[in-house]
Amino acid sequence: MPRVVVAIGGNSLIPDADHITVQDQYAAAAETDDHIASLVAQGWDVAISHGNGPQVGFILRRSELSSNELHEVPLDYCGADTQGAIGYMLQQNLVNDFRQRGITKSVATVVTQVEVDANDPAFSNPSKPIGSFMDEAKAMKRRDEDGWEVREDAGRGWRRVVASPAPKRIVELDVIRQLLDAGVVTIAVGGGGIPVIMNANGDLEGIAAVIDKDLASALLAGLVDADLLLISTAVEQVALNFGKPNQEWVSQFTLAEVKQYLAEGGHFSEGSMAPKMRAVVQFMEAGGKEALITNPQNLERAMAGETGTRIVQ
């Protein structure tokens, strides 16, 4: 069977600021899962990854608000918590979809650790803001007492920042492969994976960092021999010069074109599409055949070649 890794963006669970509750997220997961179930019905082996940024933010905020009574939750544990909770939403909805469609498939979530290099240059320049805004006095206190890296954010206050290192190894890869080979729809590397390093004793150890979800998804896709990396995001197609007067929607790129546009800069937004395109390059340079980018509601149409943006060799 052909194999696809579907990387679900955060918008698939929290479409807007008015729909952020657990119930809202469950309903959004149900909508996305319905489209993924169609891929399974068409004969694809499916692995699913997902974002978790907003959900981690919620846990951190609850932790801050209750810190006078309860211990705070470390960032790597937030990642584990959200992998379990989001995996639960996705797998329950898929199980229900499969029952309704008469599909005999199992679904499983793998709480996934992703090893990063302790000497990754990203640790020397933390750039990923997490948690709530603070005043300067509180920020300096957390810096001095807890070793946080903090940064002023455009006049809006101070925030903690952590590194975003490159994913190097998926610790549970063998288990994920076994599940996929057995025909199990497998949810893995949620939120980019729980960042871990190997310490001086050779043991794994969680670390406060955030791994890019699309880069981790690209790594997973290459390692499980996926035929397709499907990145589900907020837009139906990729645009050159997004948001500018000369914006141009594009239905297909070659790998060489994507690399050229990334090298030139300015064509893809750094806060949105550029990281996804870099993930596509990583996947295809590692031997991946094809990638596809579209939004959740158009997954089937994009797979049929009617919309979306394909990247080919």
Give me the phi and psi of 142, to 5 degrees please: -65, -35
Catalytic option among 53, 57, 128, 157: 128
Catalytic option among 10, 57, 157, 206: 10
Question: Is position 138 annotated as part of the catalytic site?
Answer: no
Structure-token pair, residue 198:
């190997």
**In the block, residue with structure tokens 């070793």:** 147
Catalytic option among 52, 213, 222, 288: 213
Catalytic option among 9, 51, 87, 276: 276
**Distance between CA atoms of 47 and 112, rounded to whole angstroms?**
13
Note whether 242 and 248 are within 8 A (CB).
no
Question: Is position 10 annotated as part of the catalytic site?
Answer: yes
Give me the phi and psi of 88, to 5 degrees please: -60, -45
**In the block, residue with structure tokens 């694809």:** 44
**In the block, residue with structure tokens 């696809």:** 4
Name residues whose C-beta falls within 8 Å of residue 214's C-beta, 6 or more positions apart in sequence: 7, 231, 275, 276, 278, 279
Question: Is position 213 annotated as part of the catalytic site?
Answer: yes
Which CA distances in Å does 109 have to 26, 173, 180, 221? 16, 13, 12, 16
Q: % helix / strand / coil in the chain, to the nearest 5?
A: 40, 25, 35
Beta bridge partners, 206, equal 196
Question: Is position 141 annotated as part of the catalytic site?
Answer: no
**Distance between CA atoms of 293 and 4, rounded to whole angstroms?**
13
**In the block, residue with structure tokens 């590692």:** 286
Question: Is position 276 annotated as part of the catalytic site?
Answer: yes
Relative to beta strand 128-134, strand 252-254 is unpaired
**Distance between CA atoms of 10 and 54, rounded to whole angstroms?**
7
Return the exposure string of 80-95: e unless at least 16 CB atoms fall within 10 Å of the residue's CB, then b. Answer: bbbbebbbebbbebbb
Catalytic residue numbers read 10-11, 128, 213, 276
